[in-house]
Structure 1
């Protein structure tokens, strides 16, 4: 049941009401929102060069400013780890994301992509959470999937849910579901946002369906857990003039509405309806459908084997929710990136850092990663690394947060093979990114290319840049380069920066797990793909270096001393 199909059916039948949203509370599906804002931006935010986080921040801030102007009080709830039952589905999605990433990589920056071909840059969620915290917007990160908590909070606060997730057409959200595609926040007028609200009751009324059977409909129509292969049987019974996918849904709803439910309680109604639907197409009953139904009827909040202090950090957005997947499932899915597909996966560059991350979380157990091998997704067994220390007891996950800061810092240094004592002349905000850059550049020097050195210098210039500071000649030139955009996509440059982002993201998460022995950098300032791609050119680098003055020139000199680059010197 693709969201587009059900949404199209609901839109075609006008099974929603026009509303103007203002002076209300609103529960927001955080993952849906950051995907939506990144993918629907106008002008389009970069995806082929690794992402544009400053541009994304501008978009997110505008959205929440509009809510504030309309006196809408948002509470954002984000997904954590995924259910083990969805593993096969998630791996299948990974393969589809790989196809999309490769297509984007093969398409010119100003070229046309197939509809829905989007790839989220790797640090978007981290940047989004940082913005929520900075703006004082109430939020929570779940240990598992957010849906149960979204529904619970919405019904408790008696307010609507804002999302694009098809499941909210099925859940019993008392005050209704606002689909982001119909939430016209850019057309706010007189403190109100035009929108369309969907209620399950109106849907059921139209199809003469007992509300208790909505979960049965979802389980047979197709969701992340189950799908009834009916070989067109339901579509043939539909009188809908719509396309096949809509006929199929319409036929199912028509069939379910005719099931005799007299004298049954809700549980019995679901059992009978499912049994009859399966029998109708010659299928046997199995637990898959019953489990899928249960997800809607009694959605359970996810529990975890994580220690309480880790759970609290995850829920506050101070630690990546990947920790739950590692500890509970020993599995991590590495989302495909837009990179040079003739080279090894960019994630290989951060392999060592992930091994330390896994070691701290599992106590040295083997983990499984799903990553690309060429143009396929494969699973790899990854041995975790336990930090070499005489103080192993203090590094056990249960008490890691109580370990001395010096010890936690040494673990970080071991993982990245750096010495933070070398960074005395580097501002605190840049210490972690500089450590990452040292680690990344050492890795790349084994098969160094001219593009790699240019990428290094581009990063150093970006570190020196202060977009929100006084506009000197250097800043003007940097802004002009960003505004020009990227006309030619360079695979090797894209790959080098993709490797850097993988190292950056994993180091950021390792630092969080170690309770920040290094200052947390501002995520939004870590990377701006379109600008960095323009900077990764020897002549451009030399021109910009000549415009550095005062503190910026001094910082640039200190950065070069640490990284010891070999070309494009002043």
Structure 2
């Protein structure tokens, strides 16, 4: 809900302190960190080809290694469900992200993507959490928005907050706010590195503003909840020489500093200041401004209808936060994809998996597996799903992906889940004669292991990654196929988590590397790389090929497939809304009618 242009004002006025970071603790806004690290990496990480997760892992590990070297102890907090009160803002923001995704998708390899045009690949958060767990870094995934939890933890532990969220200019953070743009961790020298520390007290001192009025300033300046349409009144009264947006903020701060607050407590001060500001702008009092102020002053601790075992798994990063949106808000807004927007969304490839995910959360198990006994169906209810027999949970996963996990006997544990996803994806793939080329590209990637002794195969794969696609145009059908695979992979990861991991969790950072896969997806290149396979890698590749390639004559028309009842609608905003089925005995839906 950050105030736009506030950072520029602070930078222009130098309302910060130059510091050297060392031997301290820091509270980190996890979402802000992984966004920043992905977008500001050097060299820049791929967005056009679906992402570069191994490259992202290197960047994140380097960041935390630097903190360790400087004796800085990180505490990371991640967002959970979004605030329902700012749904309109989220929808608007999503449309803006979609436009950026279209721009990235249409930008030619030889051209630079416009500055600020960034879209995060879909598995970045999963990779980030995996790294936190591997490095034993203290973190918590919140059930709602993380801001109030971050402020509380920062003040309790007497630490500064590290983020890019300008809300932390407004909140009362005792030890100050470190903006990631000025957190120069790559400039480490002698066990410390430079940063700029902002404190609310210094800001208020400069503008002669009572600190209690900072939430009022944020509510009228404009954030995710409110914005005062003042028709330029505040800007015209400003003495600032800056641009209009800066003049407007300066005028508001000057006005608020002159409101008579004598004899009032903090709550009364905010009430009077808001009333005077609205009167000055010739606006009637609006509850949205009071709501925005309350979000800063008395942020509500999110509640959830989720069972305690589910909440616990969310908090420790063992379960996706999308379960919160589905159960508590009956909707979910999935990440925006960089893809060809003239074609059908790649999310449709994961539709079936999503139905099972929703079904488990909305008590629709009977429609998914009608042949189960009533006792088995009760065991798959969300409240007791974690206690269900592994065989039953595995069966649910197999039904969702239309696979038999017994066929994975010769596949390493780390590849079992990705192989299941690949089988489902390939059986439904519709890219003509190039389907097997795309399949074998993925299988060669599965075999690749940068941590193994370097051989001719690994050298060839590394050369292809380094070559990348900077001067090469990805083929549209290949890009579409990889995009569909990633959607299936992401949804399968989360379904497996919800089912308490009937299959081993794979290493997310090893799941996909866009520049390498797109460069490899050429029949001649694949054949050249295949010839370099030797020993165990060749045997693994052959086993993968056997499992993932269906027998002749089989494909997307397999008669054994079960139709899944619809539990999902997609709105024009890109938000998916779930709805529970009518009780049995009511009208059959289309998928239950005669087939």
TM-score range relative to shorter protein: over 0.9
* 2:24 alignment counterpart: 24
* 1:443 alignment counterpart: 428
Q: CA RMSD in A?
A: 1.4
> 1:142-541 to 2 correspondence within 5 Å?
142-364=142-364, 386-388=368-370, 389-390=372-373, 391-444=376-429, 447-486=430-469, 487-541=472-526
Q: Distance in 2 between matches of 1:436 and 1:239?
A: 61
Q: Distance in 2 between matches of 1:3 and 1:287?
A: 19
Which secondary structure does the structure 2 equivalent of 1:73 belong to?
A: strand
Task: Kindly provide the CA deviation profile for residues 231-258 of structure 1, in whole angstroms up to 9, marking residues without a partner as x.
Answer: 2111111111111111111111111111
Which secondary structure does the structure 2 equivalent of 1:76 belong to?
A: strand
Instruction: Give TM-score, length-normalised by structure 1.
Output: 0.94
Q: Per-residue deviation at 1:464?
A: 0.7
Q: Distance in 1 between matches of 2:268 and 2:4?
A: 31
Q: Per-residue deviation at 1:349?
A: 0.6
8 Å contact kept, 2:185–2:194: yes
Q: Per-residue deviation at 1:566?
A: 9.1
8 Å contact kept, 2:4–2:222: no
Task: Kindly provide the CA deviation profile for residues 175-230 of structure 1, in whole angstroms up to 9, marking residues without a partner as x.
Answer: 00000001100111111120000000000000111100000111111111111111
**Residue segments in structure 1 that go unaligned for 5+ positions in a row:** 366-383
Q: Distance in 2 between matches of 1:492 and 1:129?
A: 31
**Residue segments in structure 2 that go unaligned for 5+ positions in a row:** 553-595
Q: Distance in 2 between matches of 1:109 and 1:71?
A: 41
Q: Which moved more, 1:384-393 or 1:68-77?
A: 384-393
Q: Distance in 2 between matches of 1:518 and 1:209?
A: 57
CA spacing shift, 1:4–1:277, aligned 2, 3 Å: closer
Q: Per-residue deviation at 1:151?
A: 0.2
Q: Distance in 2 between matches of 1:261 and 1:453?
A: 73
8 Å contact kept, 2:431–2:477: no
User: Is residue 534 of structure 2 the alignment partner of residue 549 of structure 1?
Assistant: yes
Which secondary structure does the structure 1 equivalent of 2:94 belong to?
A: helix
Q: Which moved more, 1:166-175 or 1:292-301?
A: 292-301
8 Å contact kept, 1:183–1:196: yes
Task: Kindly provide the CA deviation profile for residues 39-69 of structure 1, in whole angstroms up to 9, marking residues without a partner as x.
Answer: 0001000000000000001000100000000
Number of positions where the alignment pairs a residue of Structure 1 with one of Structure 2: 547
Q: Distance in 2 between matches of 1:534 and 1:340?
A: 19
Q: Per-residue deviation at 1:385?
A: 5.6
Which secondary structure does the structure 2 equivalent of 1:156 belong to?
A: helix
8 Å contact kept, 1:49–1:530: yes
Q: Distance in 2 between matches of 1:330 and 1:162?
A: 32
* 1:376 alignment counterpart: none
Q: Distance in 1 between matches of 2:367 and 2:48?
A: 33
Which secondary structure does the structure 1 equivalent of 2:19 belong to?
A: strand
> 1:116-135 to 2 correspondence within 5 Å?
116-135=116-135
8 Å contact kept, 2:394–2:502: yes
Q: Per-residue deviation at 1:452?
A: 3.0
* 1:56 alignment counterpart: 56
Q: Distance in 2 between matches of 1:490 and 1:272?
A: 61
Q: Which moved more, 1:335-344 or 1:18-27?
A: 335-344
Task: Kindly provide the CA deviation profile for residues 400-454 of structure 1, in whole angstroms up to 9, marking residues without a partner as x.
Answer: 000000000000011111111111111111010000001111111xx33234322
User: Is residue 104 of structure 2 the alignment partner of residue 85 of structure 1?
Assistant: no
Q: Distance in 1 between matches of 2:312 and 2:110?
A: 43
Q: Distance in 1 between matches of 2:456 and 2:33?
A: 37
8 Å contact kept, 1:54–1:524: yes
8 Å contact kept, 2:3–2:221: no
Which secondary structure does the structure 1 equivalent of 2:505 belong to?
A: coil
Q: Per-residue deviation at 1:489?
A: 2.6
Q: Distance in 2 between matches of 1:490 and 1:256?
A: 57
8 Å contact kept, 1:238–1:254: yes
Q: Per-residue deviation at 1:281?
A: 1.1
8 Å contact kept, 1:143–1:315: yes
Instruction: Give TM-score, length-normalised by structure 2.
Output: 0.90
Q: Distance in 1 between matches of 2:2 and 2:77?
A: 23
Q: Distance in 2 between matches of 1:299 and 1:193?
A: 33
Q: Distance in 2 between matches of 1:87 and 1:132?
A: 30
8 Å contact kept, 1:160–1:176: yes
Task: Kindly provide the CA deviation profile for residues 64-99 of structure 1, in whole angstroms up to 9, marking residues without a partner as x.
Answer: 000000000000000011011111111111111110
Q: Distance in 1 between matches of 2:342 and 2:15?
A: 48
Which secondary structure does the structure 2 equivalent of 1:319 belong to?
A: coil
